[in-house]
Structure 1
Amino acid sequence: MSQPVCRIALDIGNSAAKVLIEPVADASGQSAPQLQSASFLFAAQTEGQGDWTDQLCRWVAKCLSPNEELSPNVALSVSDPVPIRWWVSTVNHRASEQLKRFLADQQGPRSDSCESGLLRKLMSASSFDDCWREISYRDIPLQLHVDRPQRVGIDRLLGAYGAANRFGAPVMVVDAGSAMTLDLVTQGASQHSDSADASDTAGQFAFCGGAILPGLRMQQSALAAGAEALANFGSLALSGEGPSQRGAGAGFPSAAAVPALGPARDTRSAIQLGVQAATVGGVTWLWQKYRENLQRATSGPKIPELPIVITGGDGTEISAYLGQCHELVPNLVCFALLDLARSAMV
């Protein structure tokens, strides 16, 4: 019987890292505790708690040992620790290397971080290379119908894999992050090919590419940078959202704050309404085009149904305005990483 392992899925994006922990079942054999998730902004630094790497590891240590006191002056003691494995998706290699160095330090003979006692014991069961599994496009069981699969963001491929696993195909995946991607996943072709690249014929589903749009904050920043009169509106946020908080979209108001049909009567509301129209309109237009393409590909009499799955840091805000039926799945990339881990595909 294989040794139980605690899996940690880590989605490192352009502005934040998202973490999803899958604890192991307890000794009684009961079901594992509920998945735990968190997000850490790279720019945020809490007084007395260090940068995002330190905050992330403190959070992980607390989740894995909730009864331990994470005080800088208290050494942690863990009996019979279960080793942990980090399953990593990154589009920000500078940030992932920063965290990788931080975690590797936990295996050293000495560490000043307050959570080092726990993490060192958890990660000492094997070499660090065994603890850290960074995913590439070759690891994902998808047929890749794109020109240069190695240049596609790994988060896009994992989102496609995770969405198809849960909702089948075809499906449109909208990942609303710093940039917004809108990708199409279909049923894959029968796996009979002489292709030398195994990634072209792997898996039940096919990633067909998609579109990349500016994210909510990027749209506002572009307006501010390109028009002097709008410079003061380059970082709109909802009331109560501080500069380091992740939550409300970049200027997306509450559903009742901007008239659905416009027009807006002040500059702030005009920018909010414009970003809303561009974003939701882009999703709607591409959804219709993808459906038409599917109809032509199948020569069917009807335009096929195309479910929409939304994820990403600004997914909640887009979900509130989108008229089409859709599924909102936070942490979709992390769920896909856990799918890979469970299936032992990599």
Structure 2
Amino acid sequence: MKPRASGFAFRVLAQDGNARRSVLTTPHGEVDLPTFMPVGTQGSVKTLTPDEVSQTGARIVLGNTYHLWMRPGPETVAELGGLHGFSRWPHAMLTDSGGFQAFSLSSLTKLTEDGFTFRSHLDGKKGHLTPEEAVRIQGLIGADIQMQLDVCPPGDSPRSVVEEAVARTTRWAKRALAAPRPEGQALFGIVQGSCFADLRKAHADQLAALDPGFDGLALGGFSVGEPIPRMHETLAEVAWYLDPERPRYLMGVGTPLDLLVGIEHGVDMFDCVLPTRNARNGQALTRFGRLIIKNARYAKDPSPIDPECGCSGCRAGFSRAYLRHLYMCGEILALRVLTLHNLHYYGQLVAGARQAIETGTYAAFKKRSIEAMEAGA
């Protein structure tokens, strides 16, 4: 499949079962897949500079359309060089469409066939987000990859509600594809369907058949309240089913286990606030599971977070005792070091997955990784 957007290409280099090792070419460089995209909600990955994010291995980050729409405004971002120039991030970038914020801020949102009417969480000011407006805003923001506006139903929604969300997302997909957007910006469609595998597959077929077509397909509406084992079961049924000639993106997911499961079933791209948010809550994510730095057991522990980790904090020899001290004192350095560590760990996890797929050993890699996490430190 040749993407509609100029400057883009996608090619699969190796496959091991449904897991695949690919490369996505964008106007801002190549991205090795599978990959994890750090989340820069306001145009910044919290506590880190762009160079530090890059040092974790990330070559694509996510910006949040709703929040950048609220402030400083897409016109301001465009005037100051687009989000690449504004944030000084030199690599690839993806923006979501605002559909998830309609779910997460549902008390401030009204859904109609035309789109979402928001009441700003900042000042109560009204805004109207349609499929066309989402494309326009993302065009001004200037990321390499746009997402279509979609309807994300809660994970416990009855089938009738999910069916309507799927149908409306398809109608909005057609409107998004018809809307003008800047040359060199890709547009991904979003497959909905909650944990109803038949709805997911039918929706994937509908979106893949649209002409002009999407440059990639995403799975939205996961990790929104459904049981995690059920999410994993559904991924096993549907992720591999998405068009193999386009990149597959699992939105807003997840934990290290989620990544390992998603990759096994054919997912190429992930994003989640978990590694950065958990760092700010004092959690280090490691190959041997979660380490909660504020625990008293680390008060005199001279070890780094992980002696085998190559992140700058572990290389510098910052001890668990020191990081605990900083965290308990409210020192920002603790949050920065934990964030760097967590994103480095995620970067190493997907890099290890890529290597395992290339050598045909992904099942063993996944098993070994899960056993280490479950065993603990």
Q: TM-score, normalised by structure 1?
A: 0.29
Pick the structure with more helix per residue. 2
Pair member with larger Rg: 1
- TM (norm. structure 2) is 0.27
